[in-house]
Amino acid sequence: MKPIVIAAMAALIAGSAAPAFAQPPHHDWHKGGRIEHDDWNRGQPVDWKAHHLHRPGRGQEWRQVDGNYVLAAAATGLIAGIALAH
């Protein structure tokens, strides 16, 4: 019975469109670094209050990119912070 349950769970996970776990931040994403324009545009804006993130500074915005929250200046891409999404 257990192999059937395990096979069903594996098929369910493999068929999901969203990744099951957040990916580690890109190696070049760090505080003081820059996020590429394409990566920034691919990200979705995040409600910082709902996700228990700190308030962004003037001109900054939280985005969820590749399972990570990235706080960066919207105009320049200068990264002010990164947090793994759950």
* pLDDT tens digit sequence for 23-73: 666 767 889 999 999 999 999 999 999 999 999 999 999 999 988 999 999
E strand map for 1-86: 44-45, 60-65, 68-73, 79-84
Q: What is the CATH number of domain 22-84?
A: 3.10.450.160
For the whole model, what pTM was predicted?
A: 0.69
Question: Nearest-CA neighbor of 44 among 20, 27, 61, 25?
Answer: 61
> Tokens in use for 1?
């019975």
Structure tokens at 39: 């990566």
40, 62 contact by CB (below 8 A): no
Pairwise CA distance, residues 43 & 12, whole Å? 26
Residue 29 has a pLDDT of 87
CB neighbours of residue 80 within 10 Å: 17
- Say which range, 8-17, 18-27, 41-50, has the weakest mean pLDDT: 8-17
13 pLDDT more than 70: no
